[in-house]
Each structure stands twice: as C-alpha cells, then as structure tokens.
Amino acid sequence: MTDTDNQAAAMAASYGELIAGLRQTFESGRTRPIAWRREQLAGLVQFLVAHEDELIEALRTDLGKPPFEAYGTDIGVVRMHIRDISRKLDRWMKPDRVFPGLLSLPGTAEVIKEPLGVVLVIAPWNYPVQLLLEPVAAALAAGNCVVAKPSELAPATASVLARHLHRFVDPDAVALVEGGVPETTALLENRFDHVFFTGSTAVGRVVMAAAAKHLTPVTLELGGKSPTIVAADADLAVAARRITWAKFMNAGQTCIAPDYLLVERSVRDELVDRIQGAIREFYGTDPKVTADLGRIVNERHHDRLTRLVSGSGGVVCGGDHDRSTRYLAPTIVLDPDVDSGLMSEEIFGPVLPVLAIDSVEDAIAFVNDRDKPLALYVYTRSKETADRVLARTSSGGACVNHSVMHILPENLPFGGVGPSGMGAYHGKAGFDVFSHHKSVLRKPTFLDPKLLYPPYALWKAKIMRAVFR
C-alpha cells in the first residue's frame, strides 16, 4: 500500500471508531424518547439564534450573500421548519392503526415508526446551513444519531458549525466532520443506516455506489436543468420579477433556480426586456457595486461559468465579470445552441438562457427530451395550460406562476426524480425518510382454528379456494 492508501485506511478506521461510539449511544435507547428528540430540535434553533450574526458573516465570506438572503434562505426558514417539526412530532411518532383485513380477524394491525440508527448527512456549499441542518433535524426528530458533513467549499460557515453546534445538541449523538473529498470518502467506507446527500448528480452516483457496498439506503437531492415555460398569456410583468428574483438569488447558485426559459415566440422579446428592467430595478445599473448580489463560490466555478458565457453567443445583458472578486453580472443569453455547454450542463450561476418556442406543446416536448429536472416552472393565466404541462412532464417539484417557492411549505415533500434525485424530505416526509415503518400484526390466543395446520384435508382445500377466489 502507498502512503496515501495507508492514510486513507487510518482515516476510515478513525471514523469507524467515531461511528461505533454513536452506535453505542443509539443502542442505549437514549435517542428514542420524544423529550430527547425535542431537546435536540430546540438546541438547533438555539444555535441558529445564538450565532445568527456569526453565520450571516460567514455566509457573506463564503458566498457574498446579502444579510437579507442569508437570514431568509439559510437561517430563518430552517428555524421555521424545525419548530414545525417539533410541534407535530408527537403525532408523527404514534403508531398508525390499520384494518388487518377479514382474514386476520380477530387481531389488530399497526405501523410502528422506529429510528434507523446512525445516519450520515452530506451537505453542499450553496446553502450550507439550510441544507445541513434541515436533514439533521429530520434525522434527530426520527430518533437517530447523526454524522454531519458540511462542505469544505464554504469553510467559514463550516467553521462556525464545527466550533459551536456541539454545545447545543447531544455530543454523544451528533458528530460534525470537517474536510473535503478524502474525509467524505473515508466516511463512506463505513457502514451507516442511511446516507442523505445533497449535491451534484455526478457526485451522487459516487455516494450511491459507496453506500451500495453496505446495502445502505440513500436519499439523493441532486440537481439538473430546471426549465421555466412561459406561455403567451402569462402576466409578463409578474413573471419577469419572479423569474429574475429566483434566478439571481445567491448569484444563481441554487439547485432549483430556473436554469433556462422556454418562451412562446410572440412574447419572448417583451419578457426579455422586462427581465432586464427587473435586473436594473433589483441590482442597479452596475450590479458589481450593489450589496444585494452574491458572488460565485470560488475561482474554479467562476472560470467554468465565464467559459460557458464566452462560448455561447447571443449575450444581450450582462456578461461582465471580475475573477478577483468572483463577480459575474446577471447575464441573459438568447437562443444558445441546444448542444452547447450552456444547455447541456447545470449552470449553477447567474446566467439565464432564453429560447423561443412556437407553442407550449413544443416546450413540453423539449423538456421531455431531456433528463427529469429537480423543478419545473410554468407561467400562464390558463389553468388548463398549467395542468397540461404538469400532467405531461415529470419533475421533482413544480410551481405555477412562481419559482422556487415550493420549497417553503412544510407539508410539501421536497426531492427529485430520476437523475435529479431519489427520496424526499421536509416536514413529515423528512421524519419518514429517517424512520423504518415496521408492520406489526397482533393476534389473540383464545381462537386457534385447525384450518391452517396439517394434515391438509380436502375440505380444508375447498375452504381455502373459496376464501381466495
């Protein structure tokens, strides 16, 4: 073995000891009572309150996030969702009574929700607080122990989490591991009872392959190119504002951001003009100096985005950039080649391709000719048009006449489909994904008919055939 191999093996073994300690906590039964679970949820909220200013500053350092966005998308929404979980937890934990069926009478049937054990949550860098703590909260609500792995690409935020989170939760049940690819790889060498990953489709395949070695179930929250269909009858003023806000929030580094627009040809130019107007309204005539536009996470991602723009042609707005400050202006590209990188890669930045289409039918065909996206948006005044798009396309989630807002309601499961992910969370869906639903049938002993037992006489066979006909 090489020195690198030896180091990797030592790291995996070290994490194995960490996981063994968490498993010992789980097997002690400490994590099962509702009081413990609610205490952990309360601790997460207290952490967010106590270190709000530090987290906002870290998010500014990592991503240039405006304080408004940092609080709204990475702190406030998490607090809201965690409090909702705590309020409803007692109801979710109760066994579900079901009718056992006539053949199982007398008897009772129920579904018991039991925790899985020790789970791994791997978070991305674009919303490094929200996308770590929301699944961690769901796992703790379900009674599990957790290894939390923040992204190394948001180091300031990861540092705040690593320095403070352990003081607000049970340190014998929650462990936070910093580091990059080697650390994540070493963690995945070990057996978990569930792996929850948010990130790119390419890395999702790696995570799933590693988990498969242990037959560990996975939840994969991935990405993809989320389309926006704008029909000719849409309210263009409202559509322009909502698309602009959703696309350029967090400098476009949002997995459910509108990735490209498919606009009916008759209104394409007007919509583009209105989006340019919204950009000026939101960010001024020189977006580089506004405090309300984020920055690209690092130089490597900045270089990738500028290459996509420079090779696209058709730039009608933006395109200017500054590598030293990781700035890229809100950019609109008209009718890029559908085989270009701009239309084949997930953009994950403030670049918006706009394609003219002849009809909503053509837009549906365009979407269905590609991988199933994480989100889909349709703008129209017609319920029939919206219903037709929703019925004939497949996506992880969708909004009608808005974008990204479907992530807010606690009762809507959030997840992908096909290459954009598997499994879902938020609200009860999160509790369920980290729980085993155990089916239990209870039978009394006062009635024990001999019909079931050998010898299998002919009269028994006739009764059985009558019952199962």
Distance between CA atoms of residues 113 and 276, nearest Å: 51
Spatial contact of 224 and 52, defined as CB atoms under 8 Å apart: no
Six token digits for residue 203:
């890395």
| SS3 label, residue 412 | coil
Residue tagged active-site, from 69, 145, 255, 264 = 255
Residue tagged active-site, from 221, 317, 346, 399 = 221
Clarify whether 255 is annotated catalytic: yes
Residues 6+ apart with CB under 8 A from 339: none
Distance between CA atoms of residues 260 and 245, nearest Å: 14
What is the Rg, in whole angstroms, of the alpha carbon atoms belonging to the chain? 26
Dihedral class, residue 127 (left if φ above 0, else alpha if ψ from -120 to 50, else beta)? beta
Alpha helices in 213-264 (DSSP H): 236-248
Clarify whether 317 is annotated catalytic: no
Hey, what's the torsion of the CAs at 343, 345, 348, 351, to 10 degrees? -30
Residue environment code for 129-161, b if the CB has 16+ CB neighbours within 10 A, otherwise e: bbbbbbbbbbbbbbbbbbbbbbbebbbbbbbbb
Cβ burial, residue 67 (10 Å; 0-12/13-18/19+): middle
DSSP secondary structure string for all residues of 28-68: TTTT-SHHHHHHHHHHHHHHHHHTHHHHHHHHHHHH---HH
- Rounded to the nearest angstrom, the gap between the alpha carbon of residue 4 and the centroid of all alpha carbons in its chain is 33
Which DSSP category does 72 fall into? Answer: I
Active site members: 221, 255
